[in-house]
Structure 1
Amino acid sequence: MIENSRKGYLIFAEVFFCLFVFMKQFYLFPSGSIGIGDVFLVISAIIVFVVQMFIVKEKFLYTIDFYWYIFIAFVVLINGFYFFKTKNIDFLKYIIYWLYSTVAIWTYRKLAGKQFFDKVVKVCEINIILQLLIYCFGLGRYYHEGWGGGRFMGTFNDPNQCAFFIFTMLLFIFMCQCHKLNLEFGIFFCLSVFVIYITKSTGMFLGIFIFGLILTLQKVISIYKNSAVKKIWNILFVVGILLICFSIYKVWPSENFDITQTDYTLMSRIQQKIWKFSHGNLADFLYDRSAERLLQYPQNLILGAGEGYFERFPLGDFVNKISPGVFVMEFTHEIHSSFFEIWYCYGIVPTVILIMWLIKNIKACDKKRMAAVMAILIESFFLVNYRQPFFWYILVYSSSLGLVYSECRK
């Protein structure tokens, strides 16, 4: 809605949205169920809906989300088909997840505006500090490996959830402040890196590493273009490459690497990943990402298998292709890649439609904000996090602001 014409109508919706952002980190029930934060988001959406319908007469849906709604229609049709075919309620659950994301995006777009985003930024900063304090005071939960290693997960049910939450809080702060980065952002960047470090999440480490790398490259390239001493920068570039190669050499695990005999840090988990893939093969890599079904049941990449009831895809003969002693054999659920999970579950046509929607939103980003967008997209290739609203909030941030400015010009 037009920021200058709110007249207080949406103040309560903004309050409940900020409560959603704050309460989202508190998991009282199993993952996948309704959380306290989700309730506040729904209340915010209801308020926006009432204001939209009866007080402020504006466009209900935005044309930029046309492809999104087509994709959601495919989600309902495909999952609905498999529900009636198998009678498995999982498919209905995933329909609800996608409808929830739709409501989350719609509400976010309707509230979008600089003043609103500034309020959300403050909550994001509080969230990062809170998880850090919970760790410092020894109040957080821990995930314990079978052999004794522990990973901090704060108020979450899973360390990767905690790390992703912190990661997206930082990215949202950046999206709002990228044109005026200061010491305060640097502090929150360091705090976020620390919290992600103690969760020992390799996926989120990859994400924040890529984010930091892109930011650094953007700055270096900008300085390089305006520099009169390019030879010095060329030398520094070569030195940087050599340092990266040396770091990889130092991190590379030994032939007999055993994580149970280490101090179990983020670095040792990275070494474990390297050891697994250096001693395994393509089948091992696919199995580690629960992506073996891409080869076993490739027909589902065309029309989609529906999302849910993953027990339909047993390992079968694929188990014979996995290197013995490298991976623990156990059944896992979704493919650990947002892109391939969506493609496999919904097929080519819906996936292409979703990509078209993403492209339209990403085109609205300027070069500075692209660092956050690229970081979360690359990270999402290795984890499934598209059920979290902030995953989408990062991607549609710029286009949402663009809608506000276009309405103000009318």
Structure 2
Amino acid sequence: MKLNHILFAIYVIVFPFYFFERGNPQIADIFGVIIIILNIKDIFLQIRSSNFTKLLFLFIAYTLIVNAVWMAIIGEIKLIKSSFYYVYSFFMMLSFYVNIKDKKFLNTLVYALSISLMIQLLLWPFIKNQGVRTMMFFKNPNQLSFWAFSMLIISYMVQRLSSTKTYFLYLTLLLSTFFVFISASKSGIAASVIFWIFFLIKTRKQVIVFAGISVIGISFLLATNKIDFSNINFVNNVVDRVSEKKVSGIEDLNDRGYDRITNFPQYLFVGAGEGKYDRFNYRIELHSTLFNIFFSYGTVGLLLFGFALYEIIKKSPTSSKVLLGVLILYTLAHMTLRSPLFWISLLLIYNLKESTNSNTALENE
């Protein structure tokens, strides 16, 4: 087994263990940096391999310029931090791209994904009660939600490319969905439900039959009082979270920082930079990937990133469009741009188009 394959497997397995404060590199990033160093030559070659990678490179370069300018104006060195995370995530994505045609690499990754999820499942009973929203070893529930949802997308895409057994696919998808639900993330649950609708429609008839039998069986058990979901703690937490009477609408959006877009329109062309949020009377970042790009890097940054997304769906199969739509739906309520998992998810969805166009499609369109 190649060293690259081993390092990626370790990276996936240790990713859910956050030992340092949020916003800082974690244990998995040590292995991520080693992966990048080992692939650095091929990484630079991959930048020019497609319009998709070129546009993302230009986007990152633009974020560096914007943050560097604001860093000089404000005198706050931390403004450049986000761009370094983007460079790191982009390079991790390209390291993945270097290996994506290697079936042995994909098979190793499938096992690593399964092991990672199984370890978290085995550890779950030992996690002390974390309230309505579980976060496992992450620093907050949204990090668990994003990790689990990314595992859902990545597992589906990688296993369609690999030659591993189908039951690995069901195992990883079910476990990923379980962790999304115990995080009680509204956007995560909504995006996961849409993914499963897509998955059941696109997969074989026997999967739909199996799902139908399962639904009928669970319904029968409920009707005969053989099981009582009200006694299952995490189910109650999810129901409470989804149905909570929290203030919603405009006020809820303002709590997430959306109103800074209308309050500070002067930044919407070139961008306000990312960080030092007390400039705008906030303590937090804008909780949305696309809207954060719009405010932090302006119309220019949003267009560069938007054109990269367009490269994914341009002349692409329906699957690419649906999967990208589901991913973007999730990111509307979460800032995911600093995580390599988000970038790798984008790459895999883009690769679906490449595979289809080269007559090695993951599915028949």
Percent identical among aligned pairs is: 25
Q: Which residue of 1 aligns with 2:113?
A: 124
Alignment partner of 1:115 is 2:104:
yes
- Looking at structure 1, the residues matched to 42 and 298 of structure 2 have their Cα atoms a distance apart, in angstroms, of 37
Take 2:151 and 2:254, find their aligned partners in 1: how far apart are those partners?
Answer: 31
- Asked whether 1:63 is paired with 2:57, we answer no
In 2, the alpha carbon distance for the partners of 1:292 and 1:401 equals 36
2:46 & 2:170 partners in 1: Cα distance?
39
1:149-170 deviation digits (Å, cap 9, x = unpaired): 3432222111111121122112
Cα distance in 1 for partners of 2:29, 2:237 equals 33
Residue of structure 2 equivalent to 1:310: 277
CA contact (8 A) 1:124 1:170 kept: no
Task: Give matches, 1:121-200, under 5 Å.
Answer: 121-136=110-125, 138=126, 140=127, 143=130, 149-178=131-160, 182-200=166-184
Distance 2:8 2:349 in 1: 19
The equivalent residue for 2:229 is: none
- The answer to whether the Cα contact below 8 Å between 1:362 and 1:395 also exists between their aligned partners in 2 is no
Q: One-letter code of the match for 2:307? A: M
1:222-233 to 2 correspondences below 5 Å: none
Task: Give the secondary-structure state (helix, strand or coil) at the position aligned to 1:305.
Answer: coil
For residues 340-397 of structure 1, the C-alpha deviation after alignment (integer angstroms, 9 at most, x for no partner) is: 0011100101210111112213447533354433221111111111211111111111
- Structure 1 residues 190-339: aligned runs within 5 Å: 190-216=174-200, 265-272=237-244, 275-277=246-248, 281-282=249-250, 284-314=251-281, 331-339=282-290
| Residue 406 of structure 1, CA deviation | 9.8
Give me the whole-angstrom Cα distance separating, in 2, the residues matched to 1:390 and 1:100.
11
Which of 27, 43, 46 matches 1:36?
27
CA distance in 2, matches of 1:398, 1:194: 23
State the distance in 1 between where 2:30 and 2:174 align: 31
Contact 2:273 2:296 in 1 (8 A): yes
Counterpart amino acid of residue 161 in structure 1: Q
Work out the CA distance in 1 between the residues paired with 2:203 and 2:110. Answer: 24
- State the TM-score, normalizing by the size of structure 1: 0.71
Counterpart CA distance in 1 for 2:95 and 2:194 is 29
SS in 2 for 1:377: helix
Per-residue Cα deviation, 1:251-275 (whole angstroms, up to 9, x for no partner): xxxxxxxxxxxx9611111112x65
Pair 311,117 (structure 1): closer, same or farther in 2 beyond 3 Å: same
CA contact (8 A) 1:142 1:151 kept: no
Change (3 A) 1:151 1:52: closer
- Does residue 16 (structure 1) correspond to residue 7 (structure 2)? The answer is yes
Q: Which residue of 2 aligns with 1:27?
A: 18
For residues 18 and 27 of structure 2, what CA distance do their matches in structure 1 show? 8
Q: Which residue of 2 aligns with 1:360?
A: 311
Change (3 A) 1:406 1:370: closer
Gaps of 5+ in 1: 1-7, 144-148, 222-262, 315-330
Quickly say closer, same or farther: Cα 1:204–1:402, change in 2 above 3 A.
Answer: closer
Deviations 1:213-257 (A, max 9, x none): 333455799xxxxxxxxxxxxxxxxxxxxxxxxxxxxxxxxxxxx
Structure 1 residues 60 and 74: CA distance shift in structure 2, 3 A: closer
Mapped contact 2:270–2:298 kept (Cα < 8 A): yes
2:81 and 2:262 mapped to 1: Cα distance? 26
Whichever of the two has the greater Rg, that structure is 1
Task: Check 1:353–1:16 CA distance in 2 against 1; reply closer, same or farther (3 A cut).
Answer: same
**Which amino acid letter does the alignment assign opposite residue 158 of structure 1?**
N
Matched residue, 1:373: 324
Structure 1 counterpart of 2:13, one-letter code: F
User: Is the 8 Å Cα contact of residues 362 and 396 (structure 1) preserved in structure 2?
Assistant: no
SS at match of 2:335: coil
Q: How many residues align?
A: 326
**1:83 paired residue number:** 71
Task: Provide, for residues 31-59 of structure 1, a one-character-per-residue CA deviation record: whole Å limited to 9, x for no partner.
Answer: 11111111101111111126789xxxx66
Separation in 2 of the partners of 1:115 and 1:129? 21
Relative to structure 1, the CA distance from residue 175 to residue 295 in structure 2 (aligned partners, 3 Å threshold; closer, same or farther) is same
SS class of match (1:265): helix
RMSD: 3.1
Question: What letter matches 1:83 in structure 2?
Answer: M
For residue 360 of structure 1, give the secondary structure of its aligned residue in structure 2.
helix
